[in-house]
Structure 1
Amino acid sequence: MMKKMGFVWNLRRLMAERNMFQTTDLVPQLAEHGVHLSREQVFRLVTQPPQRLSMETLAALCGILECSPADLIEVRAVHRQTAKPVASGEAADRAVAPSSRSVRVWRPEGL
């Protein structure tokens, strides 16, 4: 089993706890801290975990939300099972059949 580190991005939750429900609320506040991001960039920052985050942006968010980086980012261990090589004869045995459901086809009269 391979151990990998992941994280949970808590920006949206921290904003809600401070009655900030619009992503656009952050745009002027970030600008006051010297971080100039477009509305679209701020929307992505709030709604998706960032792949990269500048220290200036992190510091600005912490200042705006009066929190620490640990409040914004929760690091967690993610356990993933590594796939074992499968012998060619075993591959067919492990194939999963597609799910089936009954379907009724209606045809117009006269066809």
Structure 2
Amino acid sequence: MRWNLRLRAAEKGIWKSTEMRRLLADAGLEISAGKMSGLWTGTPTTIRLDDLDVICSVLGCSPADLLICEPEQVAARRPQRVQAVGEQQPVAPVARLGRQRSTPPA
């Protein structure tokens, strides 16, 4: 995920974290200067949903505007398995739910 707070704020004419912090306080969300700096300059590892709701309200956006999915990053994290020459690709077992039933005659 990529955090997009600064770009969304800039689109609303908010250029400084202190200005954003003041707008959040006016909306009922008191954020420390340190926490605001972290939200403004980096990607938070966690954020409270209540805080996200207030941020979205101030910026007039949705969480999807602030949290940008990066599927290529997810794919890059998957472990790569090296396959030996002549080795066949293993077949994953199929999970069966419920009782084990035989197939009806054709």
Give the unaligned 5+ runs of structure 1: 1-6, 86-111
Shift of 1:58: 0.3
- Separation in 2, partners of 1:75, 1:34: 28
Structure 1 counterpart of 2:3: 9
TM-score (ref. length: structure 1): 0.64
TM-score (ref. length: structure 2): 0.66
Structure 1 counterpart of 2:59: 65
Shift of 1:76: 2.0
1:54-104 Cα shifts (integer Å, max 9, x gaps) = 11110111011000110010122122252669xxxxxxxxxxxxxxxxxxx
> Quick one: higher RCO (CA 8 Å, sep 6+), 1 or 2?
1
Q: Which structure has greater strand proportion?
A: 1
Give the unaligned 5+ runs of structure 2: 83-106
- Separation in 2, partners of 1:68, 1:44: 20
Q: How many aligned residue pairs are there?
A: 79
1:54 corresponds, among 33, 42, 48, to 48
What's the % identity of the aligned pairs? Answer: 29
- Separation in 2, partners of 1:60, 1:15: 13
Give the 3-state SS of the residue equivalent to 1:34 in structure 2. Answer: coil
CA RMSD of aligned residues (A): 1.7
Query: Is the contact made by 1:35 and 1:56 (CA closer than 8 Å) also made in structure 2?
Result: no
